[in-house]
Amino acid sequence: MENSAKRWILGLIFIALGTLFLLDNFDIIDFRIPYYLWRWEMIFVLVGVISLINGNYSAAIIFISIGVTFWITNFYSVGIRDLWPIALIAVGLSILIKRSSLGSKKKSDYAQDSFDDVAVFAGNEKVINTNNFTGGKLTSIFGGSDVDLRQCELQEGTTVIDVFTMFGGCEIKVPADWTVHVEVTTILGGFEDKRREIVQNADDSRILVIKGFTMFGGGEIKN
């Protein structure tokens, strides 16, 4: 699934849930989640569904299996000792799929002029190689993204990278001679310029602007 499609799906899910809960609070509609779904075990299932949308199938299998296993014990006369083989099945399926794994990073090389990176409960690493970099989008939710732009050249004028991180982080590597402006709004987080080398006579006709929003997360610029 393309990253733009993932972004749309995740955004629409959050918008739909927020709208339903808001309308219920104002007694406009009656939106109730059944008690058997309003349990802590469903957090694991939700994480698994989001991982599935993000293409992280191994993580999806593991999280959903954990959530369903603990959920079953609340409504049926079985215990964890009876259901432990599910763990073996989940691990076996995740090994067979080998699409992605928890905590792993998927490294990719791109010769495109822009990028759109979405990392949800996963990690991504991109190396961009272009003579006309035109910007990009970076979304990280409970995950991390590393973007290496050191092999790029900026287009003429202002180039923008739009960043959104929540309970996640990102690292953007840039050449030492780039002029970089950071315009990121942070809430209980931070976005720092940690470049060790900065060329003083940089070309101001080509400017990279990093803007966006981060909450309970952060980001860094390095070279």
Q: Which domain holds residue 91?
A: 3-97
Find, among 124, 7, 136, the residue nearest to 56 by Cα: 124
157 and 110 inside one domain: yes
pLDDT in tens, 64-73: 888 888 888 8
Find, among 178, 169, 46, 64, the residue nearest to 119 by Cα: 169
71 and 122 inside one domain: no
Q: Examine the fold and report which residue of 43, 65, 97 is the final residue of a domain before the chain moves on.
A: 97
- Tally of domains in the chain: 2
pLDDT in tens, 139-171: 887 778 899 999 888 988 999 998 888 888 899
71 and 109 inside one domain: no
90 and 109 inside one domain: no
Q: Are strands 135-141 and 114-120 parallel, antiparallel or unpaired?
A: parallel
63 and 172 inside one domain: no
Q: Examine the fold and report which residue of 97, 114, 148 is the final residue of a domain before the chain moves on.
A: 97
55 and 159 inside one domain: no
- At 99, is the pLDDT very low, low, confident or very high (cuts 50, 70, 90)? very low
93 and 133 inside one domain: no
169 and 192 inside one domain: yes
How far apart, in whole angstroms, are the C-alpha atoms of residue 205 and residue 158?
8
52 and 111 inside one domain: no
pLDDT in tens, 186-213: 888 888 888 887 766 566 788 999 988 8
172 and 64 inside one domain: no
130 and 46 inside one domain: no
Q: What is the pLDDT of residue 210?
A: 92
Q: Examine the fold and report which residue of 71, 97, 123 is the final residue of a domain before the chain moves on.
A: 97
120 contact partners, CB below 8 Å, separation of at least 6: 6, 10, 50, 51, 53, 54, 56, 139, 140, 141, 142, 143
126 and 174 inside one domain: yes
Instruction: Look at the pTM and tell me if it is higher than 0.75.
Output: no
